[in-house]
Copies of this chain bind each other. A is one copy, B any other.
Amino acid sequence: MKPVKTLLSEQDMPKQWYNIQADLPTPLAPPYHPATMQIVTPEQMNVIFPMSLIEQEMSDKRWWEIPDEVLQILALWRPTPLQRAYNLEKALGTPAKIYFKNESVSPAGSHKPNTSVPQAYYNKKEGIKRIATETGAGQWGSAMSLATNMFGIECTVYMVRVSYDQKPYRKSMINTWGAEIFASPSTQTESGRKILAEDPDSPGSLGLAISEAVEDAAGRADTNYALGSVLNHVCMHQTIIGEEALRQFKAIGEKPDVVIGCIGGGSNFAGIAFPFLREKMAGMDVRVLAIEPASCPTVTKGVYAYDYGDMAHMAPIVMMHTLGHTFMPPSIHAGGLRYHGMAPTVSRVVEDGLVEARAITQLECFESGVLFARTEGIIPAPESTHAIRGAVEEALIAKEEGKEKTILFNLSGHGHFDMSSYDAYFAGKLHNYRYPQELVDEALKHLPKVG
């Protein structure tokens, strides 16, 4: 029997998060306040975030202790397996070894609880009674509901309408964990009502749902906001993925030649990639590859500039890759990858040449996703099929070149709540779409002038 999974015991679970800000070749540019257009202060951020997370957000301290209470909850499913995809390798006829980090095993079905749990913990500790947040595909909203429930605080989720309609059982899941959920645009907020007045059938966007959640949180003293990606502390919480993977590769005496993740806001990619980037900066021979959807090509077609984090100018202005905050993406099914911007840390490592980015159209992603389901069993989330497709492409290059190569990708989540996307794929209702450059150019006329 060939060994399939490399496990870590709970005792060997990483006890610290890695903050890549400590090692960036070029430091991050500071965020600006969307109203004052001045560099945002910790006190201003404290309106919607707890101080402990703001401290993490703005720090260049390399290692952060993971609180015991957080580890105790993560241990319900972590450490996650590092899994060798023998059957996929065989189906591709590649000499490459393909490994994946299986983040689909969390109760919410993705990597998202890695950060929702500490976010709920720090908010609870600072006396917050309620969290308002948004969700794209539903992965983040589920994860936040799971976490707030564990710490006995309330949660309201604004879910991008197109996903809300495609995935009715995300709502049921979020309700089961005791949270409430609204389709965004909603009538709950000024930002939502404004869009609904213009277009009652608006499919929504992550940028808009963020506006609704931030507005909700800013308006109530007992309520904070929580973001599931993009921010520095969110990316840092996810580094437990890559730290585990490093330990697991060490245990089997191997090392990946290429590390692959999909990018929407950037957090699952940061999670698997940043620890390897640290090793790369210290001399490890490893390529790092970020895959984004061609329908929302933030890094490959956007610009690296200051932009608003949301549609209604409620969130800070940050330096990042952006398609423009007015970007209203087409209703593609990989809902979690439909954000106009990108995590500033991820954008920074791309700019510094440490990371390659590639855009892939969705039919190819679903094709590889179905191949993965039929070979390795697990039905992947549509977002994760982008990482799988990246791994497949790298494996096929290895086959062409007749080279052995070790590939690692992050399986960010399963697709149990995305089956309508698979139905649409099998019914031939999905099409490839490349976001046109002229629409990008138009949107980029509306960038804020700061910095």
Please list the residues of chain A having a beta carbon within 8 angstroms of any beta carbon in chain B.
Answer: 1-5, 7, 9-11, 68, 71-72, 75-77, 83, 87, 105-109, 146, 149-150, 168-169, 172-173, 175-178, 370, 373-374, 376-379, 416-417, 419-420, 422-423, 426
Closest to A2 in B: B72
Residues of chain B contacted by A2 (CB below 8 angstroms): 72
Residues of B within 8 A of A373 (CB): 107, 176-177
For A150, what are the chain B residues with a Cβ–Cβ distance below 8 Å?
87, 377
Are the CB atoms of B172 and A76 closer together than 8 Å? Answer: no
- Top 9 nearest A-B pairs by Cβ distance? A107-B377, A172-B419, A169-B419, A416-B416, A4-B75, A107-B378, A172-B423, A172-B422, A76-B377
B3 to A420, Cβ gap below 8 A? no
B426 and A175 contacting across the interface, CB-CB below 8 Å: yes
Select A178's contact among B11, B168, B374, B416, beta carbons within 8 Å: B374
Q: Are A4 and B416 in contact (CB under 8 A)?
A: no
Say how far A182's CB is from chain B's closest CB, in angstroms.
16
Complex contacts, A168 vs chain B, CB 8 Å? 419
Complex interface: chain B residues within 8 A of A1 (CB): 10, 68, 71-72, 75
A173/B419 contact (C-beta < 8 A), A4-B10, A374-B178 known:
yes
- Are A177 and B374 within 8 A (Cβ)? yes
Kindly provide the distance from the CB of A177 to the nearest chain B CB, expressed in whole angstroms: 6
A105 CB contacts on chain B under 8 angstroms: 105
On chain B, the residues within 8 Å of A87 by CB distance are 150
Give the complex CA separation of A63 and B177 in angstroms: 43
Please give, as numbers and ranges, the residues of chain B lying within 8 Å of A173 by CB-CB distance.
Answer: 379, 416, 419
A7-B7, A422-B176 are contacts. A146–B377 as well, Cβ < 8 Å?
Answer: yes
Q: Is the CB of B426 within 8 A of A376?
A: no
**What's the Cα separation between A103 and B358 when bound, in Å?**
37
CB-CB under 8 A from A75, the residues of chain B are 1, 3-5
How near does chain B come to A148, taking the closest CB pair, in angstroms? 11
Report A59 CB to chain B, min CB distance, Å: 25
Knowing that A76-B377, A146-B377 touch, tell me 5 more A-B residue pairs with CB under 8 angstroms.
A1-B75, A3-B10, A7-B7, A169-B419, A175-B423
29 CB contacts below 8 A, A to B, read A1-B10, A1-B68, A1-B75, A3-B10, A3-B75, A4-B10, A4-B75, A5-B10, A5-B75, A5-B76, A7-B9, A76-B83, A87-B150, A107-B373, A107-B376, A107-B379, A108-B377, A146-B377, A150-B377, A168-B419, A169-B419, A169-B420, A173-B379, A175-B423, A176-B373, A177-B373, A178-B374, A416-B416, A416-B417
Residue in B closest to A75 when the chains form the complex, CB atoms? B4
Question: Which residue from chain B places its CB closest to the CB of A76 in the assembled complex?
Answer: B377
Interface contact A76-B370, CB-CB below 8 Å: no
Query: Which B residues lie within 8 Å of A76 (CB)?
Result: 4-5, 83, 376-377
List residues of chain B with CB within 8 A of the CB of A177: 373-374
CA distance A149 to B374 in the complex (A): 7
